[in-house]
Chains A and B, each alone.
Chain A
Amino acid sequence: MNLVFAIAIGAIFGAGVYLLLQADLLRVVTGLALIANAANLTLMASGLSRGQSPILPLTGDEPVSDPLVQAMTLTAIVIGFATTALLLALAVVLYRRRHSVDLDDLSREEAAASARDETEEPALDPWRDVELVESDEPEGAPR
C-alpha cells in the first residue's frame, strides 16, 4: 500500500511541476492544484493504519486507526481550494486587463511598460541630469 501511495504522490507531483512550468496561466494554476493534492495525499499516507473506527465507546482491544490525518487533510483540502480559487480569480483579472493568458505575452507587455517608465527616469548624477531633462532627449530610446 505504501508503494502505491508513493508512486501516486510522485506521479501527481511530477505532473503538477510539469504544468507549473508551462507558459499558460490556467495550466500553471492546474499544476499548483495538482501539487496541493499531492501534499494532501502525502498527509493521508502519513497516517495509514488499520484498526477500528476511532469513535467512543471503543469495542474490544483492537487498535484504533489514526483519525488525525483525516482531520488534517480536510483542513488542507479547504486551504488548497481557497488558494486555487484565488489564483483563478487573479488569472481572470489578468486576462481582462491584458487579453492574454500566455505568460510570455504578459511579461513582454510588462517589459514594454517598464521601458516606457525608464525613458522618463532621470540619471543618477543630479547636476548633469537637469540639463539632460531640459534638452528633452529620450534617454532610454533604442540604442
Chain B
Amino acid sequence: MMLIAGPLLVLWIAGLALVVMDGRRRAVGVAAIVAVAVAFALQAVLLGRVVTDGAQDLVAGGWAADVGIRLRVDALGAVFAVLSTGIVLASLVQAVATGVRSRTLPALTVFLTLGLSGLFATGDVFSFYVFFELAMIAAYALTAAAGTAREVSAAFLFAIVNLVGSFLFLIGIALLYRATGTLEMVAVAEAAGRLEATTAILLAITFFVAFGTKLGLFPFHFWLPTLYATASPPVAAIFAGALANIGAYGLLRFGGAILPKELALSATALIVIGTVSIAYGAIQAIGRRDTREVLAYSSIGHVGYILIALGLGGPIGLSAAVAFSIANSLNKALLFLSSELRGRLTAFIFLVGVLSVAGVPPTAGFFGKAALFDAGVRAEDWVAVAMLFVGGALSFVYIFQIYQHDRWRPREERERETPRGTAGVGQRLAAGAVALVVIVLGLWPQPLLAAGRDAADAIVIARGGE
C-alpha cells in the first residue's frame, strides 16, 4: 500500500539526490523541506486510516506473509511517526530559515527522518535495527557537521556511547531470534510468552539498557548534556523532540508489546530508576544557567516520568506513557527552537513552552502530566504519585529560572550573549507552529488522549490479544 511505503520512498530518493548537492544553497534546503513535508502529509493520512480501520500491513515485494519482510503500522507507530516527522519538519524549516552552514545538513536530516519513519513502520525486529541505525548514523554525522572541535568531540562521545547501546541491542536481537526462531514482531510476542523466565529477563534487561541509552535515562545519560548544549537549536530540537522518541517507542514496543510479563515483573525497578532520573535531572537543571544545558538535564528528568508510567503498567499506564511522550517531545522541540530567538512574539512562544513543561493549562504539558497522575492514582501507587508531584515542583523551579535568566534581562546584556536582533519570519514560523500545536492540544486534548488510548490498545493487541 502506497501510504506505508510512500513516505519511505520519497525520503529515500530525496536523501540520495540531496546528499550530492551543496546543502548551503537555499534551493537544496527547500527541496529537503518539501520531501519531509510530503512524508509528513502521507503519514498524517496514514494515521487517520489506522485510527478508523486498524493496523495497516504491507509485505515488501509481494512475498508470502511469513517469508517477506513485513511493514506494519499500528496506532502506536503511526502516532510516533507523525509526531517525529512533524518535529523534524519544523526544525528543518527553522534551520533553513536561519541559514545552513554545512553542506550535508539537509540530506542528513532527510536520512534521519527516513530512519525514524522506517522504524515506526516496520513489523520486523531486524529491520527495526537497520532503520534505527540509519537514523542514529545520520544523527552522529549531523552533530559533527559543523566541524568545530567542540562539536566533533561531542559527536564522538555521542556516537561511542550510543553505538555500544546499538550493538547491545543487536546482541539482544540475536538472543531473541535464537529463543523464538522468528523476527516478525507479532509472532515474536507470541513466542516470547512461552520463554523460560531467565532467558526472558535477560532479553528484557538487554533491550532496557539499549533503549535507556537512547533515551538518556539516569545511569546512561552522560553523553546527553554536552550534545544538546553543543548542537545548534534546530538540531537539538530534532534530537530532543524526534530522535529521543526511538527510546520511548522502543521501550513501549519491546517492553509493552513483546515482553509484557517481564515489564510487569520489573515494575518496581522501573519506578526506582525513573525516580532517580527525575531527581537527578531536576537537581542538575536547577544548578545550571545556560538555557540549553538546563533543557538537556530536564530531558533526562522527563524520561523518568515515561519510565514511571511504564512501571505503573496496565492500559492506563501505557496510554499515560504515550500521552506524556507526545507532550514532552513537543515541549522540548518548542523550547529548543525558540531558545535563541529574540523578539516579543518569540518570547511569548518560549513562554508557552515553559508553561507546558511546568504543566500549566491550557497547554499539552498539562494533560501529559494529568494522564500520569491519573495512572498513578488509579494504580494506587502513592510513592509514584508523590515523586511525580516532587518532580513537577522541581521542574517549576528550573523552568521559570531559565525564563527569568533568559528573558528578564537588560536588552544590551542579552544581545552581547546572542548577538542577534529580532528573529526572522521563517524562524518564528517554525517555533510558532509547534507552540500552536501545544496550545491547541491544551484546549482540545481529545486527540492527545485518544492517541494515548489507541496506542495502548495497539500494544495490547500486539501481545497476541490477551
B133-183 contacts to A, CB under 8 A, are 133, 137, 140-141, 144, 147-150, 152-153, 155-156, 159-160, 163-164, 167-168, 170-171, 173-175, 177-178, 183
Chain B residues near A82 (CB-CB < 8 A): 137
Q: Is the C-beta of A68 less than 8 angstroms from some C-beta in chain B? A: yes
Distance of A20 from chain B, by nearest CB (Å)? 7
A129 touches B183 (CB 8 A): no
Tell me if B167 and A35 are in contact (CB < 8 A).
Answer: yes
Complex CA gap A20/B157 in Å reads 11
CA distance A32 to B405 in the complex (A): 41
Number of residues from B at the complex interface, CB < 8 A: 40
Q: How far is the CB of B132 from chain A (nearest CB, A)?
A: 10
User: Given the complex, which residues of B lie within 8 Å of A28, measured CB to CB?
Assistant: 160
* A residues 56-98 touching B (CB-CB < 8 Å): 68-69, 72, 75-76, 79, 82-83, 86-87, 90-91, 93-94, 97-98
Is A122 in contact with B153, judged by CB distance below 8 angstroms? no
- Say if the beta carbon of A121 comes within 8 Å of chain B: yes
Known: A113-B150, A129-B413. A39 touches B405 (CB 8 A): no
Complex: A126 Cα to B148 Cα, angstroms: 32
Chain B residues near A4 (CB-CB < 8 A): none
Cβ-based interface call for A43 (8 A): yes
Residue among B148, B174, B413 making CB contact with A46, cutoff 8 Å? B174
* Residues of chain B with a CB closer than 8 A to A106's CB: 153
- CA gap between A113 and B137 in the complex, in Å: 28
Mask of B199-236 contacts with A, CB within 8 angstroms, 1/0 = 00000000000000000000000000000000000000
Contact A83 B137 (CB under 8 A): yes
Assess A68 versus B183: contact at CB under 8 Å? Given A35-B167, A90-B144, A93-B152.
Answer: yes
The reply to whether A124 and B126 form a contact with Cβ atoms under 8 Å apart is no
A23 in the interface, Cβ–Cβ < 8 Å? no
Q: Is A8 part of the binding interface, using a Cβ–Cβ cutoff of 8 Å? A: no
Given A75-B126, A83-B159, A110-B150, does the pair A46, B177 have CB atoms closer than 8 Å? yes
With contacts A35-B164, A121-B289, A122-B413 taken as known, whether A94 is within 8 angstroms of B152 at the C-beta atoms is: yes
Q: How long is the Cα–Cα vector from A121 to B413 in the complex, in angstroms?
A: 10
Q: If A91-B156, A93-B147 touch, does A39 touch B177 (CB 8 Å cutoff)?
A: no
Q: Give the distance in Å from the alpha carbon of A29 to the alpha carbon of B327 in the complex.
A: 37
B410 within 8 Å of A (CB atoms): yes
In the complex, the answer to whether B170 meets A39 with C-beta atoms within 8 Å is: yes
Which residues from chain A contact B409 at a C-beta distance below 8 Å? 122, 126, 129
Which of B147, B159, B401 is close to A86, meaning CB atoms less than 8 Å apart? B159
- Structural contact, A97 and B152, CB atoms closer than 8 A: yes
- Tally of A interface residues using CB under 8 Å: 40
Alpha-carbon distance A25/B156, docked complex (angstroms):
9
Q: Is the CB of B152 within 8 A of A42?
A: no
Q: Distance in Å from the Cβ of B448 to the closest Cβ of chain A? A: 35
* A133 engages B167 (CB within 8 Å): no
Bits for B391-418, please: 1 = Cβ < 8 Å to A, else 0: 0000000000100110011100100010
1/0 contact trace for B10-49 toward A, CB 8 Å? 0000000000000000000000000000000000000000
Point out the residues of chain B lying under 8 angstroms from A79, CB to CB.
Answer: 130, 133, 137
Q: Which residues of B contact A97 (CB under 8 A)?
A: 148-149, 152
- Contact present for A94 and B156 (CB under 8 Å): yes
Q: For the complex, what is the distance from the CA of A119 to the CA of B126, rounded to whole Å?
A: 49
| In the bound complex, CA of A36 to CA of B417 (Å) | 43
Which A residues are CB-close (under 8 A) to B290? 121
Q: Which residue of A lies closest to B176 (CB)?
A: A46
A47 interface contact, C-beta 8 A? yes
A15 within 8 A of B: no
Q: Are B170 and A90 in contact (CB under 8 A)?
A: no
Q: How far is the CA of A90 from the CA of B173 in the complex (A)?
A: 28
Q: Which residues of A contact B405 (CB under 8 A)?
A: 124, 126
Q: Which residues of B contact A11 (CB under 8 A)?
A: none
Rounded to whole angstroms, the CA-CA distance of A76 and B173 in the bound complex is 11
> Within 8 Å CB of A90, what residues of B?
140, 144, 152, 155-156, 159
Hey, which chain A residues are within 8 Å of B147, CB to CB?
93
Closest Cβ of chain A to B418, distance in Å, is 12
Instruction: A110 to B226: give the CA distance in the assembly, Å.
Output: 11
In the complex formed, the residue of B with least CB distance to A107 is B153
7 A-B residue pairings within 8 Å (CB atoms)? A43-B174, A68-B183, A69-B177, A76-B170, A79-B133, A94-B152, A129-B409
Spell out A's residues near B (CB within 8 Å): 20, 25, 28, 32, 35-36, 38-39, 42-43, 45-47, 68-69, 72, 75-76, 79, 82-83, 86-87, 90-91, 93-94, 97-98, 106, 109-110, 113, 121-122, 124, 126, 129-130, 133
